[in-house]
Structure 1
Amino acid sequence: MSFARVRALVVVGVLAVAAVVFVVVALVRDTQGGAVAGGGCPEGSVMANVKLPDDPQEVTVKILNGTDQAGLADRVTNDFKNRRFQTQKPAENNKKFDGVAILRYGPDAVGSAWLLRAYFLNQADPQYSAKRKGAVVDIVIGGRFQQLATTTEVNQSLVELSEPQLPPGACAAPVKKDS
């Protein structure tokens, strides 16, 4: 056996021993003893659906008129219907609101509310409630509301908003894979 071949075997052997030592040290000194595989939720957290809907038909809205303008909730409900959203019967809000809009939603509608923020060009005030049940997003239309955004404006707004963010006290629910 030539000297070069012996030297190569010695180098490979030393590297193999060093790799084994490195792996053993990494496993022994691992500080992630309490970590849960798959990103489990901490105690007391609520599972939230942060998946951004692929189609407006996956989102249900209920429009509430927070102004003195008669018929505004009906008009905005029709605007959302024309954009292929599922809608519930419009109603009047108990209190008047001066802003653009308020989005009221719970853990099942986090991704839907994120999409709806884009229709108000991120001017709507999100109001998350961990105790709220169902995937319906209530939208209170305020005095500063003018109109819903166009498709191009919605897409630009979604780019600015980025991915849906988890509300405080929530963790992401597992995303179902589409077949």
Structure 2
Amino acid sequence: MSFARVRALVVVGLLAVLALVFVVVAIVRDTQSNAGTGKGCPKGWPLADVALHEPKEVKINVYNATDEPGRAGSVADDFRNRKFQVAKVGNATSGFDGVAVLRFGPKGVGGAHLLRAYFLDNAERQFDINRKDDAVDVVLGNSFQQLATTTEVNQSLGDLGSPVAPAGTCPAPSDK
């Protein structure tokens, strides 16, 4: 074996050892190993479900705040056709001129994030830290036209990114 080959093998071996040491040190000194698990969360803060759920896992209540009677029922049927769990359908107490309002608590953060995509991120969000259920209330406003198509929902989810825990909550550990 020539001297040039030996020298090349020594250099490559040294680089491999340095890379291995670097990786081990990075893993051992990782300070983000508890990120997203709720560890280190201030005592008493609720855990927010920040997992992005499939429609069949999301429970919703649909309320009509438009001038058009029966709008909640038709939109609830659209949501059922898209595999959402529709629990309640009814009328809101007052009118609303926007597209929609999504009302949810810490257990409904992931579901509300998915629903934002169905309204192309034009729905107002109202987070209630004291709410205990995992359902999301969808209040339809006078500016509502229709739900987004599957392609539009997927594009909107890409634009929205991952769900984020609202202020005053900590991300819950993911079961998936």
Into which bin does the TM-score normalised by the smaller protein fall? Answer: 0.7 to 0.9
Q: Aligned partners of 1:79 and 1:46: how far apart in 2?
A: 32
Q: Relative contact order (C-alpha < 8 Å, sep 6+): which is higher?
A: 2
The aligned counterpart of 1:127 is 126
**Offset of 1:68 from its aligned partner?**
1.6
Q: Supply the AA of the counterpart residue of 2:82.
A: R
The aligned counterpart of 2:51 is 51
Q: TM-score, normalised by structure 2?
A: 0.78
Unaligned runs of 5+ in 1: 1-22
Unaligned runs of 5+ in 2: 1-24
Q: Supply the AA of the counterpart residue of 1:83.
A: R
The aligned counterpart of 2:61 is 62
**Offset of 1:43 from its aligned partner?**
2.7
- Map 1:21-100 → 2, pairs under 5 A: 39-53=39-53, 55-100=54-99
Q: Aligned partners of 1:36 and 1:81: how far apart in 2?
A: 39
CA RMSD of aligned residues (A): 2.1
Q: Supply the AA of the counterpart residue of 1:43.
A: K
* Number of residue pairs the alignment of both structures matches: 146
SS at match of 1:134: coil
Q: Aligned partners of 2:175 and 2:78: how far apart in 1?
A: 30
Assess if the C-alpha contact under 8 Å between 2:60 and 2:88 holds in 1.
no
- Rg larger in structure: 1
Render the CA deviation track for 1:17-60: whole Å, top value 9, x for unaligned. Answer: xxxxxx9xxx9xxxx9xx9956321133211100000x210001
Q: Aligned partners of 2:41 and 2:94: how far apart in 1?
A: 36
